[in-house]
Structure 1
Amino acid sequence: MRRNGRPRGATAASRIYADLRAELVSLVRRPGEPISEAQIATAYGVSRTPVREAILKLSDEGLVEIFPQSGIFVSRIPVAALPETIIIRKSLEETTARMAAEHATSSQVLSLRAILERQREACAAKDREAFHQADELFHAGIAEVAGYPGIWKLILQVKVHVDRFRRLTLPQIGRMTEVIGEHEPILTAIERRDTDGARAAMASHLERLLDDISEIQTLNPECFDQPS
């Protein structure tokens, strides 16, 4: 499919990178799937040079693998790296939840509650993409309320494979409803200025990801890089 518009130069590489990255993280392009530079270049109406630039950047992030003489493939999710990344995220977000409970204003709580309502609407519509985006806004919003939005930016840098893994959890029956049920006590504790409660609720929420790894790997073995 040809993309609208014809990007040029550095703009082309940036746009192709952003589009491909979104497709990889959302699992539109599935782990193990081949990637054709020629097809992408044709779709964007550009030469292979900006495509290769984007591919190399994605390779640096571990999202694609380049095999000389064989081709380019979507990387599988490195299961061994997930626990450490989740623990890093959990540690950082326990802090943002606690500090949000210290500093949240009434209007900020209302904004977070509006995001949670968006999640409920997405859940009712079975719109997993909208649900995921609202989930991101909820966690980013907590960091903003805490007064440390840079913490969320740091988390974004390390959680790319966790996001791919999380996409596999959402189709599970009842999982989106469960996530909302995990978000609610976080927000309630923030609203009540219960710092310990907010920290504990966030910890419990993110620990669920650790608990899910084995089951999701069993259900989707083709998506994971099996340790040798």
Structure 2
Amino acid sequence: MKTRSAAQGIYELLRGEIVMNVLKPMDTIREAAIAERLGVSRTPVREALLRLADLGLVDIYPQSGTRVAPIRIEKVRAAQLIREAVEVEIVGRAALDADAETLARLETLVDDQRIAAGRGDIRRLFELDEAFHRAIFAAAGFLSVSEELEDLRVHLDRLRYISVAWPRPAEFIVREHTAILAGMAARDAAAAAAAMRAHLRAVLAPLAILSQDMPQAASG
């Protein structure tokens, strides 16, 4: 049980570092170095890396080592397509079901995002972004669906984290969330859905530049 618990913690730590670009695409990951850093044996580190490989976040080369996987464009496109299909439907339902308390919670989250964007606190902005979307799922009564999408979203999140200020400033995210909230507050399911669709499609804007100019993207 201790090994499993350690492996889970290591998995979550490395997953977060990859998503937030602390560990960059094509960086080498050494089991021994991670084990020493965290004060554990190599067994839970190896288990965590195998899970990350299954998720597509690392590439393991037998006898050669492990590297952080490049951002794979096809995975990003697939994740965005599925997320759009689900969240556009969810926000339409939430627009009809959200109560005053939920709308106030969403408004607070948008205000906090505006502050984070003004400070250039990208990590906090993304935390608040996740909270905003989860609150919409909860308002529609489908929070469990949000949890099911977590592994899928990880490929989108990698792209979002490296491109939040390129070419789309963080302030744009706040504006897009404001438009979603406005549709919900007006009980206008169509307007909320249209704003959500535009918001979720905007993340794809950097893909063409990324694939041409940066070695951290791969087409397959």
After TM superposition, the score normalised by the length of structure 1 is: 0.92
User: How far is 1:217 from its partner?
Assistant: 3.3
- 8 Å CA contact retained: 2:71, 2:217: yes
Counterpart check, 1:151 vs 2:127: no
Q: Say yes or no: does 1:18 pair with 2:6.
A: no
Asked if 1:192 is matched to 2:192, the reply is: no
- Map of 1:117 onto structure 2: 111
Cα deviation 1:58-112 (Å, max 9, x = unaligned): 1111111111121110000111222222111001010111011010111110000
| Post-superposition offset of 1:21 | 0.9
Q: What SS does the aligned partner of 2:59 have? A: strand
Query: What is the CA–CA distance in structure 2 between the aligned matches of 1:100 and 1:164, rounded to whole Å?
Result: 27
Q: CA deviation at 1:216?
A: 3.5
Runs of 5+ in structure 2 lacking a partner? none
Contact 1:168 1:216 in 2 (8 A): no
Counterpart residue type for residue 223 of structure 1: Q
Number of residue equivalences: 220
| Corresponding residue SS for 1:28 | coil
CA contact (8 A) 1:27 1:164 kept: yes
Contact in 1 for aligned 2:55/2:151 (Cα 8 Å):
no
**SS at 1:66's partner residue?**
strand
Letter in 1 for 2:182: T
Provide closer, same or farther for how the CA distance between residues 131 and 46 of structure 1 changes in structure 2, counting only shifts above 3 A. same
Q: Percent identity?
A: 34
Q: Which amino acid aligns with 2:3?
A: G
SS of the equivalent of 1:50 reads helix
Contact 1:140–1:149 (8 Å) recurs in 2 = yes
Cα distance, 1:174–1:25 mapped onto 2, change above 3 Å? closer
Q: Give a deviation string over 1:99-136, Cα, whole Å, max 9, x none.
A: 11010111110000111111111111101100111111
1:173/1:90 CA distance change after superposition, 3 Å: closer
Q: Give 1:225 shift.
A: 1.6
The one-letter code sitting in structure 1 at the alignment partner of 2:58 is V
Give the residue type in structure 2 aligned to 1:41: A
Check whether the contact 2:211–2:219 (CA below 8 A) recurs between aligned residues: no
Q: CA deviation at 1:49?
A: 0.8
1:61 counterpart (55, 71, 86): 55
| Counterpart residue number, 2:218 | 225
Shift of 1:226: 4.0
Q: Which runs of 5+ in 1 are unaligned?
A: 1-6
**CA RMSD between the two structures:** 1.6
SS of 1:211's partner is coil
Counterpart of 1:4 in structure 2 is none
